[in-house]
Amino acid sequence: MTRALLAASSIALLAACGGGANEEAGDSATGFITPGASVPETAERGDDGVPRDDYGRPYDYMYLGREIPAFSGTMVAGPLFSTQELENQWTLIDVWGLWCGDCMADAPYVEELWNEVKGSDELAFLSIHTPPNAQRIDEAYGRYGSVEAYFEEKGYSYPTLIDEDASIRDTLEIAWTPSYILVAPDLTVQGFRSELAAASSDDPVQDLLDDIAAVKANYDPDAPRPVED
């Protein structure tokens, strides 16, 4: 395959960026999830109703198979961004935050992923930096103070939209960070996964690109969508 194909305590949230418990042996929500995927019987559901593994990672994403909600904001580099820019192309969205330990573990993989796909006509990439929630926006940037400062220190360069007040996070119904969301050219969500650092393979970036390529190869834009609630 070518490069182109591709509400817990602050301490708990920094370690497990969705408010989960300690990870144990058994089923784990660390794979690529597509519309219609089954949820293991071992999944636990909290007050939000999201099925999760022992670590707190979600087994499902509410917009799988549905059109992603409209959102907009300002990129780190300055220009405005809106959902219209996702139309007519495949796009992978990474939702993350500097306050999140799991996101920090994933950051090198995200940079590697960006280097694999930048300039490609096969897959666009967008990262969205978000606070933990609307009540904790002062924690959004951790010790770095800004995404720009973090990128300068680490040498990273991936395109990033800033969600200053967690409004995009709320719009997208993000139950875990980092979250990777695959959006089809018709703006439907066709894939989802949690952090790459939790993958069992030695090359999670290539595995993700392979998963995306498989989804694209089997994608039917005329397939029925889930009934909206």
pLDDT digits (tens, 9 = 90+) for 26-74: 468 889 999 999 999 999 998 889 999 999 999 999 999 999 999 999 9
pLDDT at 11: 35
* pLDDT tens digits along 195-227: 999 988 889 999 999 999 999 999 988 887 776
Q: Does position 1 have pLDDT exceeding 70, yes or no?
A: no
Q: Does position 15 have pLDDT exceeding 60, yes or no?
A: no
pLDDT at 115: 96
Checking phi first, is residue 128 left (phi over 0); if not, alpha (psi -120 to 50) or beta? beta
Please, are residues 4 and 123 in contact by the beta-carbon 8 Å criterion? yes
C-alpha closest to that of 198 among 92, 57, 35: 57
Mean pLDDT of 154-166: 96
DSSP state of 226: P
Distance CA 75, CA 90 (A): 19
C-alpha closest to that of 59 among 87, 30, 97: 30
C-alpha closest to that of 13 among 176, 194, 143: 176
Mean pLDDT over all residues of the chain? 88
pLDDT at 227: 65
Instruction: List, in sequence order, every residue forming a beta bridge with 50; answer none if it has no partner.
Output: none
189-193 and 179-183 as β-strands: parallel, antiparallel, unpaired?
antiparallel
Q: Please give the distance of CA 67 from its chain centroid, rounded to a whole number.
A: 16
DSSP state of 81: E
Give percent of the chain with pLDDT exceeding 70: 87
User: What's the burial of 119, exposed, middle or buried (CB within 10 Å: 0-12/13-18/19+)?
Assistant: exposed
Q: Give the pLDDT band (50/70/90) at residue 17.
A: confident
Query: Measured on CA atoms in the order 138, 141, 146, 147, is the torsion positive or negative?
Result: negative
Q: Give the pLDDT band (50/70/90) at residue 116.
A: very high
Distance CA 168, CA 189 (A): 16
Please, are residues 185 and 87 in contact by the beta-carbon 8 Å criterion? yes
CB atoms closer than 10 angstroms to residue 225: 11
Distance CA 164, CA 190 (A): 26
Q: Give the pLDDT band (50/70/90) at residue 9.
A: very low
pLDDT at 27: 66
Q: Give the pLDDT band (50/70/90) at residue 5.
A: very low
The residue among 10 and 20 whose pLDDT is bigger is: 20
pLDDT at 222: 83
Class of domain 10-16+63-218: alpha beta
Q: Does position 7 have pLDDT exceeding 90, yes or no?
A: no
